[in-house]
Every structure is written in C-alpha cells, then in structure tokens.
Chain A
Amino acid sequence: MKNYDAIVIGAGHNGLTNAAYLAKSGLKVLCVEKNEYIGGATVSRNLYKDWFYSNCSYVCSLLRPEIYRDLELARHGLQVIPPAGGGCIFMENGDYLGSYVDPEVKHREYARFSRADADAYERYTADVMRQCRFIRDFLLRTPPDPTSFRMRDLKELAYLGAKFFEMGEERMYESIRFWTMSVAEYLDEYFETDVIKAALSGSGIIGTALGVHSPGTSYVLLHHYMGDVDGNIGAWGFARGGTGAVAKAISDAFLSYGGELRTEAGVEQITVKNGKVTGVGLSNGEEIRANTVVSALDVKNTFLRCMDRKDLDEEFYHRVKNFKIRGSSGKLNIALGGLPSFPALPKDSLLINGFLHFTDSMERMERAYDDWKEGTWSKDPYVDMMMPTLTDPTMAPPGKHFMSCFVQYCPAQIEGRDWTDEERQQFGQTVIDQIANYSPDFKSLIEHVEIRTPAVIEDEIGITEGNIFHGELTMDQLMFNRPIPGYAQYRGPVGGLYMCGSSTHPGGGIMAAPGCNAAREILLDLKRPDVTPVNFGDD
C-alpha cells in the first residue's frame, strides 16, 4: 500500500491541471486514470490506420490563458492554431452564408441577405463581448456562498456586485436580460434574416438539453464565446496534433513537477473513515492512501458510483441524484480518402476550412430539439462539422482528411431504453445523409466512421450520459449553484474530498479553470502557498 499527499481521480484536462498545481506546490501527487490513455474527453486517438481522431472534444478555445502561460504549456509542446478560414452554413435553396474571418468581407456577406443585419452584427458582437468580459473575471475565482457570513464570502459577493455595478445602469438591465433570455429571442433583437440567426444560434445549444427557444440559452452562447486564441476573444483554434495534445502538454507539466501518473487504474471506491477520506480503492483491488482525494469525475460518478450512500448526507445524496447531466449530443468521426467537394461554395473557397453547418432556419434548429424531448435523435439534426486536417494536416495521411461531426441532439437513451446497434447506425446515417445532400462525392470518400452516442461516450470516457459539460449549464446549476448549492467551493461533503471536474464552476469545455480553482482551495485548506495563477480577467 502506497501513500500520497493527494490522489486525483481522472486524467482529463481538469484532473491533470489540478494535479499539476498540487505537485507544483510540492505535494506528492498521484493521478489515476481508468483508461490506458490520458485526457478523458480531451483526447486524440489512433483508431483507424494513420488517422488521429479527436473523437470527443474537437476545438480548443476556452483554455484559460493564465493557465496556459503558468504551466508553460507552450514549452510542453502545445500549439493552438486558428482555423485557416471561416466556415459557412449551407441553405436548402442552394445558397450559403459564409462566416468570413475578415470583418469587412463578413459585413458584405451579411449584407447580401440584409443591410440591417450586416450593420447589426457589429452591435451584436460588441454587446456579447461586453458580457464575455464580465464573466471572464469570474472564471478563475471561487464562487461565493451567498448564505454564508464569512468575511471571504461577503467580500467575494461584494466584488461580484461591484463588477456588475461598474457596467452602468443601462448595461446592468441589458445584462439581466441577456443572462435570462433564449438565444432565439436575443438574436431577434438584432437580426431579421433567418439564416443569419440560425448560424449564430448554434453556440446557444451545443452540449445542452435545451432548444434555441429555451430561456437561458443566451448564457450558453456566452459559454462558447468566452474563450480566446492569441488574445482574440471568441476565436476558436485547434491544438496541433489534435485535442489530445492539450492533455499531453498539461500532463507533461504535471510530470515535470514530480507528479506520478497511472493509467489503467480505475477507481472503484473512495474510502472514508470517521467522516474523512483515507484514499481510493482501485478496480484491481489495490488500495492507495492519501488524506486528500480530488475527483475530476462528474458528480454523479463521484458520489453515486464511487462512494457509499451512508457516507453522504441524505439531502446531499438527493441533490446529486437529481443533478442534471443530460446526454444531448452525439459525434461522428470520419476518415476520408480525399477532400469532399461542396458545389454550393465557390471553387477553392477558404470557407471550407471552418465549421460547416446545414441547419438554415431557427425552426429547423428548434425542431431538432423537439425530437430529443420525445426521446429520439434529431431527424434533421444540427451538425457542427469541420475537417481539422485542413488546418493541421498531421492528423491524417497526406491528401486524406479527418472529419469531426458534432451532432445535436442525440439522447442518452431511446424512449427510456438503451440504444440498439441498429439505431446507432441509423443515427449515423442521418448525419451522413445530411452532409451528402450538399456534397455529392462525400459518401464515396468515406473510409471509416466512428458513431458515438452519449452512451458510447459514457462507456468509454465515463462521463455520465456523455454530457460535454458534466452537467447542464442552466441557471440552477451555475455559479454558487454548481454543482450543488452549498458545495460550490470545490469541497465535497466529506473531509479531505474535493471536486475539480467540469461539474463545478465554471463548467465544461477545455477551460481547465475548475481544476485550477479546486487546487487553490485545496492548498488553502492544507495551508500551503497558493501557486495557482492570478486571474487577469479582462485583458
């Protein structure tokens, strides 16, 4: 039996970030991972010939720059490159709406549909970015407990209030509206063209079990916008070599601080004695001791699977059980023998390098959600498709391509029962057909397809219902409510137990903020110097 100062469960990007900071402070840290590869959903794997599939998470934008710099991820080999072109949305009438990178060209493109919308776009980005700047300040801060009278919580609440107040009266009202509205209604206030609204609304629903008309989806939009690449807020990028490169770099940082990493070491049990954690029990029967255990798993996994109900307070147990982690997205990873053509686009258009979409109206977006509510996959889904090999050719053999299709909506179960393999194939076919409608040679280029439903992702990575955020991003599960009211400060209900996964504030995406925030709280409890980076918020 071995002893450590701290054990981190799960080598996803948050687990690794947390482990890296604990190790950096001089603690003896072990990070255990159930799979033979690290990264969790931040992963790229060689699943077919010479192709590398970023088969879960597929873009890198939210990663906090403070952490990127502080852990010297560049030195550890991480390179984030912006896509070499804009992306577009294909329309049923044969036209398309390009999302050009150059603002001047984008303006002209929007003006093709509506002059007013082209002008409104500027106002729209300014308004959304204002909200981004506000929220970015809170990503690397621990949410205050509004029920507490401790000085620290009162100060943090006052800070939140002051930051809000700084916006000025009119913008405070605008913010209240933004935070509670649906993305459809928010976009209605700026734009008149359906396809432009459809193009912008996608970010409001990716990864959530909500439709574009559900209140609260404006915030989800923000969650996808608040990242940056090279200081360009809202920009998206790819990690060279695939998303797994992010986990690899953080893991290298962790190892460089003297941390220890074990793969194929799934945790079966978090052991508790007299209300304090004593370590973990692995699935092979081995026990490892530590007085601090940090779980990067989602809360349902952590508390319902790895802990005894008797060690948990009944109300806490009840809240965890009702925590909303809803499988709503699927994924297709496709190896292509060549670049598919999209005749709607001009020859050699750079737009093909970005995200390609096929859902050209708000009604189609919303109807996709109606199918999910009925317990089935969307028959006309919202597909967020891109070919990272156009930006980073290292992921496939020369001349060949890797295509990542994120699909909304795809339920964890079909009408309350498990998926059959036939249904999974049908789901895959739905997506392939949608793309093939706009690309006649697409089907003939397919060499290999991996079809992933939430259930497949759960089986493999372990995330409950394969939810990319480890829990819905609704108001009842954000800030001090995330994951459970009263437990938003990364501490579990048992002494020495912490949470550092995306179920905690500020939530999912490859942000690494939860891992970092949890490390700060742990170091505070252990009375060790804080080695986590200072939040530079709006820079």
Chain B
Amino acid sequence: MTNKYDAIVIGAGHNGLVCAALLAKAGSKTLVLEANERVGGAAVTRSFSEGYSVSAVAHLLYQLQPQVEQDLGLKGGLASENVGTLALSSDGNHVRVDGDNVSGVNDEDKASYRHFRKRMTRFADLLNTYLNTTAPRLGKNAAKSDMLTLARLGFDIRRLGRREMREFLRLIGMNICDELYERFDSALLRGAISLDATLGTHLGPRSPNTILTYLYRLAGTHGMLRLPAGGMGAVSEALAHSARENGATIHMGAKVSRIIVENGCVAGVATESGDVFSSKLVVSNADPKSTMMKLVGSKNLETGFTRRIHHIRMRGNAAKLHMALDGLPSIAGVEDREFGARFLIAPDDAYVERAFNQAKYGETSVKPVFEITFPSFHDSTLAPAGKHVMSAIVQYVPSELRGGWSSDTRDAFRKLAVRTLSNYMPDLEQRITAWELLTPADIEEQFHITGGHWHHGELALDQFLFTRPVGGAHQCAMPVGGLYLCGAGTHPGGGVSGAAGRNAARVILRRENFV
C-alpha cells in the first residue's frame, strides 16, 4: 500500500520540517501533511497586496539554533547580518542598541548595559544547553539519562561561580522591571528591554517570570536579529528542501482531521478530503490543545491528562500589522540608511505595563507597543521598486476580545495603531496603499494555532521544562502509543528556533526502532 509510512508529521511549520528532515535523514519513510498551500506554518512569506509580500507572522530570525543549522547542513546566507535596534522617542532622541553597545543614554547606562548583557548572555547560554536537551523526568520513573541531565544542570549552575550562581537563582524567577530600575536611568532603554521580555507573552514587565522570557529570547544567538532574505518563508523553504533532500514527502493542502487511534496506539491519520495515511508513528507539529483535543479526542485519553491539556494557557496577545507604503515614512532623527533596523515603540517600562493592563481584561491596548521592521529595505523582492513594506508586531491584542472580534473592532484597532505610529512617523498615513491586520484570532484561523499564541502555550515557569506542555508528557511522547509532539508547545517553546522539532526527532530516534 502506497499510503503507508514510517512516520507522519502533521504540519509543515518550521519545527515539523526540522523533525521530518531529521527522521528522514535517519532513514525513515516520512510524510509531512500541511493544511495550507505552502510550507512554514507561521514562518511563511505571503503576499497581502499585489506586489507586496511579507513574513506573515514571525518576521525576525534571532533564535534559529546553530545545532539545527548544523544537523541539517543549512548553508549560511539565510538572512541579513545583524540589524540593530532603535527605540523610538517622539522627540527624535532615540536610543540605539547594537550588540553590547547602546547609544543615546548616559555613560553609566552604557557601562551598565554591557555588564547586563554579559550576565544575561551567560545565563542564556546556560539555559540554551537545556533548551536543546530533552527535559528530564522527575520521580521514580526517571531514567538514568534524566538524572544525569538534572545533575548536569546543577553542576552547570554551580560552575557559574558563587557570585553569578546567586544572581542566577535570584533572577530566574524575577520580573524584568525591577532589574531594569536597578540598572538604567534611561526610560527608553528600560522600555526597549521590557518589550523584548514581554513580546509574545501574556505578561507585563512587572510580572515575575519576565527575566526568564528575556533569557529565552537571548538563547541560541544572544538575540542577534536577522531579517531573512525572501522573508521568513525562505527559511521554511530551506528546511523543506532539506527534508525533501533527505527523502521526506510533503503534501500541501492536506488538512488532517483526525489521528487514528487503535488499541491505545496510533495507526495513522485521516485528512479532511478523506485520504487515510497509515503509520505507527505520528508526530504533530500542531499545538498540544489542537492535537490532543481535536485530532486525538478526549475519548482516547485519560481524564486527568485531558484536564491538564485543557488548562494549558495559550492566550495570544501579539497581532501582526502589515502595510504597503509608497515610500519610507519619515522619522525625526532617523536617516534613510537606518531603515534596515528594528524599531521599537515602547517609550518606557510603565508604558508597556499599561499596555498590558488592558489585555488582562480582554481589551486591546489603548497605547499599544510595536516592533517594526521594513524588510523591503534589505530585500527588494518584497515590494515594487521604490515602494516598501512595513511589518510590525503589535501588542497587546487579546485573542479573546471582550465582546468578540468583528470587522468593526478590527478596524478600530487598526486605526488606533496607525494613529499611534503617526506620533513617530507623521507622514505614515499618506504613504499607506494597502494593509493587513492579523489579530491572534486571525492567526488562529489561518495558521491553526490555538489562541494564535506564538509559543503554542504561554512561556512561563509553570509551563516550562518539566511541565511543558504538561508534566509527565514533557518528553514529546504523548500517552498514546506512537504519538509525539514536535511543535513549540513542547519543550523548550516557540520562536523560529527549530529546537522543539530537533528535540522531538532525537527522542523519537532513541525510542522507536523503525529504521
């Protein structure tokens, strides 16, 4: 039978592709089924207006794990060199951050930032080792390798030295805001770091846990920001190419409707169009809620497990705003050559915190925060000559808006966003020729991520490491024989890093003898 495979991967998001490529590389006959018409999931380049294309969801590459590039033999040149960050001030006195250096702040802040970076990148490196390791199991059922991982983690923390170890243990559960006040006078710099620590989460800079989210952002490449040539879709295409090279098959437009479970083990999957593909191994790149509740179904699961899955928090807050512009907007104090950078609108930490306040009550921020790029500045294929596209992440925009999303509420929010941007880019409004707003609800609908959450589940200490997606099932294997998760909902979490896909592949290759 031709529809029989060694492994089926549901979803050709970047993690699914990484996992499929590694499984195929190990010799398994692997099939990837993707609901949409192109690969990449949320890491995709789409046209939103004639001639204008943009990375539809994720737009900056700052986490792709070097291990993934190495394992798959991806060649460099995927993306631009590091782009700097400009934290915008409405009066033109911007703060510019590039690597360890920051300008537009006083000398103490400059020195303090270098010290802060040094410590944070060191902690991020420590964390990164464990982001690329299977999360250990606790208790009597822990394997020797789990105990070894735990011991190594303890040892690595000790190896920081007494002073840094104390700081690590103090900071790891803390909020970013208190640390920023301890260090920096510049409100703009505090705002910029607050934004980095809270982007993609349901947290404000005062929420404990935001040091962890900040470290997570720095893991892998120390927060080096790159804009992929051809948009994020090009990264996914490269991964898909690697998967195919290794022998995997990828079917587009094949939306899986059901994972077939027989006698507590997977037997294959069925698609909406009625095709059935059989395999004793199914790997889902979909988020844990979709996978377990929709595709597997609670009747195949133990109640306690269903309850834990049900309780995973995944309320997305990050919207995407895309605009086609007939030219670069003017920003006071920014020269034309600087438009390749990342621009932030987060004038201070309190501004970010206030923006978060409304999200707690299911409302959109009255004064939202923005992370803005002009990808066409680096890559002329994304817009017609002389024209530009703007790609912005706007926060906070709750997936479950009080009263629900409608075309009116979306329109109102878009206008508010443009008004806010206009404070910094006075001629922006005249330059807009087309636009697209993707709220988390839209992202959920178009990219099949529950809550439109960029991490497939809030990245927080209570949903991290041992308890991601849920305790006891945090080693990718689900309590259905032959079913694995490989998406951002599993350890370590989201971002275009490929770590989740790689971790899953490694677990599967260790546990399953299908080759």
Contacts and interface: CB of A to CB of B under 8 A. Distances in A.
A185 B461 CA distance: 13
Interface in A475-491: 475-476, 480-481, 485-486
Contacts of A384: none
A108 interface: no
B275 to A, nearest CB: 38
B139 A172 contact: yes
A311 to B, nearest CB: 21
Contacts of A481: 169-170
Contact of A180 (B137, B158, B203, B462): B462
A194 interface: no
Interface in A450-477: 474-476
Given A173-B472, A215-B461, A480 B169 contact: yes
B166 A170 contact: no
A181 B353 CA distance: 19
B208 A174 contact: no
A146 B208 contact: no
A169 B311 contact: no
Interface in B303-359: 311, 313, 350, 353, 357
A205 to B, nearest CB: 13
Nearest to B171: A476
Given A146-B169, A215-B460, A475-B208, A173 B471 contact: yes
B405 interface: no
Contacts of B357: 370, 373
B137 A169 contact: yes
Given A172-B138, A173-B472, A474 B206 contact: no
A373 B353 CA distance: 9
A147 interface: yes
A536 interface: no
B178 A324 contact: yes
B361 interface: yes
A213 B360 contact: yes
A213 B350 CA distance: 17
Interface in B157-182: 158, 162, 165-167, 169-175, 178, 182
A215 B208 contact: yes
Nearest to A218: B462
A215 B203 contact: yes
Given A189-B311, A486-B166, A176 B139 contact: no
A216 interface: yes
Interface string B450-477: 0000000000111100110011100000
A238 B209 CA distance: 36
Contacts of A181: 460, 462
B460 A180 contact: yes
Contacts of B257: none
B169 A170 contact: no
Interface in A285-322: 322
24 contacts: A147-B165, A165-B138, A169-B140, A169-B142, A172-B139, A172-B471, A173-B467, A174-B471, A176-B471, A177-B471, A180-B173, A180-B460, A181-B460, A185-B313, A189-B311, A214-B206, A214-B208, A215-B203, A216-B208, A474-B173, A474-B175, A475-B208, A481-B170, A485-B169
Given A215-B461, A474-B208, 18 more contacts: A165-B139, A169-B142, A172-B139, A173-B467, A177-B463, A177-B471, A181-B462, A189-B311, A213-B207, A214-B207, A215-B462, A324-B178, A367-B361, A373-B350, A474-B173, A476-B173, A481-B169, A486-B162
User: Which 5 residue pairs are nearest across A and B when measured between Cβ atoms?
Assistant: A173-B471, A169-B139, A475-B173, A180-B461, A485-B166
Interface of B: 137-142, 158, 162, 165-167, 169-175, 178, 182, 203, 206-209, 311, 313, 350, 353, 357, 360-361, 460-463, 466-467, 470-472
